[in-house]
Amino acid sequence: MMFEVPTTIRAANALHAERSMAALDTRLGGEHMPRRPQWDCQACEQDWPCDPARVRLAEEFEANRVNLAMYVGGLLDVAVAELPTADTADLYESSCPGPDDRNEVAPPPAGVRGRIILRN
């Protein structure tokens, strides 16, 4: 199978967004999917990503926060294109991975550098 190589940044971003959307059903197990083009959750009708979708994506990517950020960035590209009147700053803040206020940040054990996120 031959893949077309994008020749512009816009084409590369579009391809990344398309692939992110295509993988979403698998990553979320078909639950708490976004209703498009409104971008609210089909299951709980909250703005997407809803809390269950955030938890599922965080579990799916586990410790690889960089890949999670890149993946969610692809979804954000799609949401921005489908919600042209929405405030992009609000979309960014609601979709980008970050510490969840239900998680506690614990100090590292002796001899360990960094922070540990504890899940409820």
Contact 91, 79 (CB under 8 A): yes
- Residue 110: what pLDDT? 54
In a domain, 2, yes or no: no
Residue with more model confidence, 99 or 46: 46
In a domain, 4, yes or no: no
In this prediction, residue 118 has a pLDDT band, given cuts at 50, 70 and 90, of: very low
In a domain, 3, yes or no: no
Give CA separation, 119 vs 6, 31, 77, 116, in Å.
40, 21, 29, 10
Please state the domain count of the chain. 1
